[in-house]
């Protein structure tokens, strides 16, 4: 059975085992597609974050910094910063930033950030980024959870087929048992082959998300500290 190659092996399986393998193959393709997509997304997020952090540390002008955040589309920190800016400042259509007396800025002679409002805003913005980072991960979680049971279903059906052959032939010889047992082993192996990478990368991406969220939160602490100073410098004479 195994000497005939992959196609010969698949061709020798029963109809139910072929359906089980097809389901596992589809699940494997979906999970690997998600793995590759999220891998590229996290690499792009790390790269864009570093570029935006560099711009944030060097650029003092809020207008230019806001434009840089618009360009860093793949940076979660830049999206959070842009959301903060949109709620603290008024941005005109041509990208010019001016002080705003919205709910995030007190109506005093010098603009002062309402930290209670902004803390809630930052928490909301960070949660939005977490939701974006977690997109498609349920596919990996579902694949890791259910594919071993799908493989187990093929295993059970293969064992049932072996007992049926034993009953039909009236003997427990290797010739009667081997086909059903081989189908069971193939289904088990296919289920594990599909589930193991999904579980490994699901846990890996969760770790990457925790690190990214910590990076975003650390950045927002620094951003909120410096934004008050930059806001005052930018809005001098704008009352």
Residues 48-73: tens digit of each pLDDT:
989 888 888 887 777 788 888 888 87
Residues 144-184: tens digit of each pLDDT:
999 999 888 877 777 777 677 667 766 656 665 666 667 77
Calpha distance 222→80 (Å, rounded): 13
User: With the C-alpha atoms ordered 215, 226, 67, 100, is the resulting torsion angle positive or negative?
Assistant: positive
* End-to-end CA separation in angstroms for the chain: 84
Residues 177-196: tens digit of each pLDDT:
666 667 777 788 889 999 99
- Region 64-84: mean pLDDT is 84
Calpha distance 185→17 (Å, rounded): 11
Nearest by Cα to 114 from 125, 130, 102, 123:
102
Tokens of 173: 């010889």
**Count of H helices and E strands in the chain?**
7, 2
For 162, residues 6+ apart whose C-beta sits below 8 A from its C-beta are 176, 177, 179, 180, 181, 184
Q: Would you mind telling me the total number of residues written for the chain in this entry? A: 239
Calpha distance 127→46 (Å, rounded): 18
Tokens of 162: 């072996």
Residue at token pair 């977490």: 130
The answer to whether the beta carbons of residues 5 and 107 sit under 8 Å apart is no
- φ, ψ of residue 36 to 5 degrees: the values are -65, -40
CA dihedral 76, 78, 83, 85 (to 10 degrees): 160
Residues 21-54: tens digit of each pLDDT:
889 999 999 999 999 999 999 999 999 989 888 8
Q: What is the DSSP letter of 105?
A: B
Cα angle at 141 between 37 and 181, to 5 degrees?
Answer: 110
Give percent above pLDDT 90 in the chain. Answer: 25
Cα angle at 86 between 83 and 90, to 5 degrees?
Answer: 170
The number of C-alpha atoms within 13 Å of 173 and in the hemisphere containing its C-beta is: 6
CA 68 and chain centroid, separation = 25
């Amino acid at each position: 059975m195994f000497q005939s190659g992959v196609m010969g092996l698949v061709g020798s399986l029963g109809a139910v085992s072929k359906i089980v393998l097809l389901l596992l193959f589809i699940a494997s393709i979906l999970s690997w597609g998600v793995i590759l997509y999220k891998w590229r997304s996290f690499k792009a997020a790390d790269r864009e974050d570093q570029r935006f952090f560099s711009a944030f540390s060097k650029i003092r002008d809020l207008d230019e910094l806001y434009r840089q955040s618009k360009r860093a589309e793949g940076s979660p920190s830049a999206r959070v910063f842009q959301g903060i800016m949109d709620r603290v400042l008024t941005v005109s259509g041509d990208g010019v930033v001016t002080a705003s007396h919205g709910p995030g800025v007190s109506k005093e002679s010098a603009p002062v950030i309402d930290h209670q409002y902004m803390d809630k805003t930052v928490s909301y913005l960070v949660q939005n980024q977490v939701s974006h980072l977690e997109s498609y991960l349920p596919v990996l979680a579902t694949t890791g959870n259910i594919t071993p049971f799908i493989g187990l279903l093929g295993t059970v059906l293969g064992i049932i087929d072996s007992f049926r052959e034993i009953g039909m032939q009236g003997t427990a010889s290797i010739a009667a048992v081997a086909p059903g047992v081989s189908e069971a082993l193939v289904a088990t192996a296919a289920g594990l082959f599909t589930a193991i990478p999904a579980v490994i990368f699901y846990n890996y991406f969760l770790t990457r998300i925790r690190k990214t969220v910590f990076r975003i939160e650390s950045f927002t602490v620094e951003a909120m500290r410096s934004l008050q100073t930059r806001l005052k410098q930018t809005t001098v004479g704008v009352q």
